[in-house]
């Protein structure tokens, strides 16, 4: 029972990506300078602020003191570090290139952090606009309109269609606020549960890739991650089949994950990686299959993958920047239209009443 609870507790631990970057970078430098793994981790442990990461490092130190390899001590925390991290650490220990491999991981984590930050930053402004719109409309409909409505009724004012629509919405929300809130919460919970079912999640990811703008961003984002992961694995000495399989394991989009697993099986049969990718041009653009083909034939596959990773990272940056410039004016127009409609619905009857005196 205690082991079961301990396993659950380990699976719930989360650490900031910034601390993982710091951990790999410092470990790389310390081991390169001649410090042992256990000394390096003890020194890093004193600088860690995250309680969860502190617990993990204490456990790692205990494992190292008992003669375990670093990769073995990290394996129970695969949900925290990921298969890519542990595979590269394990390979570094076997080949004697742990410092270099940790340096590769540090670069990988930093690039991943930058990419995620840029995508998230692009959504901040639209989120603020959405919250502001909901706040303004809610204030006008639920607080201002009910105070003015009795005046309209007592004066027998003729209410325009916009005002009657607004009153109907306000009455509905006021009468069924609890049910509406409960319904929205239920929909969110159902959505979260459905996304845990692989078949449903796979269908959602496939639909996402077919959407005009979102599909373009998703494809470029996944290409950047997949090519960067393959490049770092191959440079670390991982065989092509294992590299493709590991890239599949850490790819979030299930459609790409499935195709990478199929590609790994084809490679086992003696096929080149590019052969499978060029048959799936809707997922893997021709640029990817062509560059991989050249890399496989010339023996520079890891360099070509790095080129592709940087290329698609820049493509994502440019697309996200364009997305922000398109969304900002569009959202302002929508917000202005909604607020204008509500304001017009309130002001028009007031104007008609003043004109009648």
Residues 39 and 128 in one domain: no
Last residue of a domain, one of 38, 61, 96: 96
Could you tell me if 181 and 234 lie in one domain? yes
Shared domain check, 168 and 44 = no
Closest to 274 measured CA to CA, from 261, 286, 282:
286
Indicate whether this model's pTM tops 0.85. no
Residue 163 CA to residue 161 CA, distance in Å, equals: 5
Q: How many domains does the chain have?
A: 2
Q: What pLDDT is attached to residue 155?
A: 62
Confidence band for 2, pLDDT divided at 50, 70 and 90: very low
User: Does one domain contain both 61 and 169?
Assistant: no
Q: Are residues 89 and 144 in the same domain?
A: no
Q: Is residue 101 part of a domain?
A: no
Identify whether 117 is part of a domain: no
Question: Quick one: pLDDT band at residue 119, thresholds 50, 70, 90?
Answer: low
Q: Is 166 in contact with 345 (CB distance < 8 Å)?
A: yes
pLDDT band at 357; cut points 50, 70, 90: low
Residues 334 and 249 in one domain: yes
Do 87 and 136 share a domain, yes or no?
no
Across the range 94-117, mean pLDDT stands at 77
Q: How far apart are CA 212 and CA 203, in angstroms?
A: 16
165-179, 231-245, 258-272: segment of lowest average pLDDT: 165-179
- With 90 as the cut, is the pLDDT of residue 231 above it? no
Alpha helices by DSSP H, listed for 269-300, are 273-277, 286-298
Question: What's the token pair of residue 111?
Answer: 């690039």
Domain that holds residue 34: 2-96
Q: Is residue 116 part of a domain?
A: no
| 80 shares its domain with 227 | no
CATH code, domain with 209: 1.20.81.30
The CA distances from residue 255 to 80, 186, 266, 283, 306, in Å, are 23, 28, 17, 9, 22
Residue 7 within a domain: yes
The answer to whether position 105 is within a domain reads: no
Q: Where does the pLDDT of residue 291 fall: very low under 50, low under 70, confident under 90, or very high at 90 and above?
A: very high
User: What's the pLDDT at 7?
Assistant: 44
Give domain status of residue 111, yes or no: no
Same domain for 79 and 130? no
Average pLDDT over residues 166-194: 85
Residues 242 and 166 in one domain: yes
Rounded to an integer, what distance in angstroms lies between the CA atom of residue 178 and that of residue 104? 52
Task: Identify whether residues 143 and 89 lie together within a single domain.
Answer: no
Residue-wise pLDDT tens digits, 28-74: 888 888 888 888 888 888 887 778 888 888 898 898 888 888 888 88
Q: Are residues 132 and 221 in the same domain?
A: yes
Query: Residues of the chain with pLDDT > 70: what percent?
Result: 91
pLDDT confidence tier of residue 156, bands split at 50, 70 and 90: low
Instruction: Give me the pLDDT at residue 5, please.
Output: 36
- pLDDT band of 10, cuts 50, 70, 90: low
């Amino acid at each position: 029972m205690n082991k079961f609870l301990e396993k659950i507790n380990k699976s719930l631990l989360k650490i900031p990506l910034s601390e993982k970057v710091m951990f790999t970078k410092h470990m790389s430098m310390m081991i390169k300078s001649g410090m042992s793994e256990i000394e390096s981790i003890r020194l890093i442990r004193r600088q860690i602020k995250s309680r969860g990461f502190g617990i993990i490092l204490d456990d790692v130190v205990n494992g190292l003191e008992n003669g375990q390899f670093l990769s073995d001590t990290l394996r129970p925390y695969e949900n925290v570090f990921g298969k890519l991290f542990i595979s590269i650490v394990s390979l570094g220990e076997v080949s004697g290139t742990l410092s270099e491999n940790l340096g590769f991981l540090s670069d990988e984590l930093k690039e991943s952090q930058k990419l995620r930050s840029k995508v998230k930053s692009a959504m901040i402004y639209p989120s603020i606009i959405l919250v502001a719109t909901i706040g303004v409309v809610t204030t006008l409909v639920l607080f201002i309109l009910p105070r003015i409505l009795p005046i309209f009724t007592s004066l027998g004012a003729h209410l325009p269609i916009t005002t009657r629509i607004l009153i109907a919405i306000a009455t509905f929300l006021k009468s069924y606020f609890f049910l509406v809130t409960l319904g929205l919460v239920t929909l969110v919970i159902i959505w979260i549960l459905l996304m845990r079912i692989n078949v449903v999640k796979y269908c959602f990811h496939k639909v996402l890739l077919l959407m005009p703008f979102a599909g373009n961003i998703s494809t470029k984002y996944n290409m950047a991650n997949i090519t960067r992961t393959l490049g770092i694995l191959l440079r670390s000495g991982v065989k092509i089949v294992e590299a493709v399989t590991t890239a599949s394991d850490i790819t979030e989009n299930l459609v790409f994950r499935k195709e990478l697993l199929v590609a790994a099986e084809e490679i086992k049969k003696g096929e080149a990686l590019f052969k499978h990718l060029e048959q799936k041009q809707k997922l893997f653009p021709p640029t990817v299959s062509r560059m991989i083909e050249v890399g496989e034939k010339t023996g520079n596959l890891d360099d070509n993958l790095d080129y592709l990773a940087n290329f698609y990272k820049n493509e994502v940056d440019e697309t996200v920047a364009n997305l922000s410039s398109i969304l900002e004016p569009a959202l302002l127009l929508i917000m202005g239209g909604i607020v204008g409609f509500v304001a017009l619905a309130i002001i028009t009857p007031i104007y008609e009443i003043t004109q009648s005196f």
